[in-house]
Amino acid sequence: MIRPEPDELFVEIGSGTGQLTLPIAAAGAQVVAIEVDRELAAGLRRIAPPRVQVVTGDILSQDLAELVAAATPWQASRPVRVVGNLPYNLSSPILFQILGTQRTHRCFRDATLLLQREVADRVVAAPCSRTYGPMAILTRLAADAKRVITLPPGAFRPPPRVRSAVVTLGFRPPPVSIADPALFERLVRSLFTRRRKTLLNAFGPFAGTVSPLPPRELLARAGLASDRRPETLDLEDLATLADTLARR
């Protein structure tokens, strides 16, 4: 599924005992392995080859772009890939961290991540589905997401209480142009706190903090019917609405 090549750099999140780290390194790739558990990190450091750099610490406290730059100071165009078995209680913030790094630095080629099934559903969700929301939208802005396999609890030892899934992200340039990415993200997050209200009622509270124009007029300028629901808006609709606000 991953097929590492010798010229590649991998950023691994949650390396543990090295069950994924060591085979990737054996293929000739370089690995920056991030592990929060000090004992596991020390154990991996003792057995890993020189091409593996073990970083001890919380992934959310790391600057991924800096780690990549430090590992590839003379090869700026080197393919950088992300792999990891994400801790289920931190999957969402870690995913947003990866997406944020990609948005600002464009340094990743792809990511292969083991997630809780419910989180995976939110990553690959389509408009009008129950799980569609900020996770799917911000992912779609940066990558093509695909769930490649679903795993039952019995596939792990000890078995978790939830099902798991492997998701791949193929990073690419954004399919839409967004003038103000921070405004876009704030808009999306605000709309989906009221996902089943009409678009007029869901959009109004946020619009009032950004523009002096009435929400109904802003929706008309964006070409969006005020009686739609936020969960029906695709990436293009949301980008148009954000840019209408940005031109306030």
Domains of the chain and any CATH numbers = 9-171 (3.40.50.150), 181-246 (1.10.8.100)
pLDDT, tens digit (0-9, with 9 covering 90-100), for 212-241: 999 999 999 999 999 999 999 999 999 999
Q: How confident is the model at residue 79 (pLDDT cuts 50, 70, 90)?
A: confident
pLDDT at 242: 97
Spatial contact of 64 and 55, defined as CB atoms under 8 Å apart: no
pLDDT at 248: 65
pLDDT at 221: 96
Average pLDDT, the chain: 94
pLDDT, tens digit (0-9, with 9 covering 90-100), for 106-155: 999 999 999 999 999 999 999 999 999 999 999 999 999 999 999 888 77
Q: Among all chains, which residue has been given the structure tokens 């978790």?
A: 160
As a whole number of Å, the end-to-end CA separation of the chain is 46
Q: In whole angstroms, give the CA distance from residue 77 to residue 63.
A: 19
Question: Looking at the chain, how many residues does it have?
Answer: 248
Check pLDDT > 70 for residue 74.
no
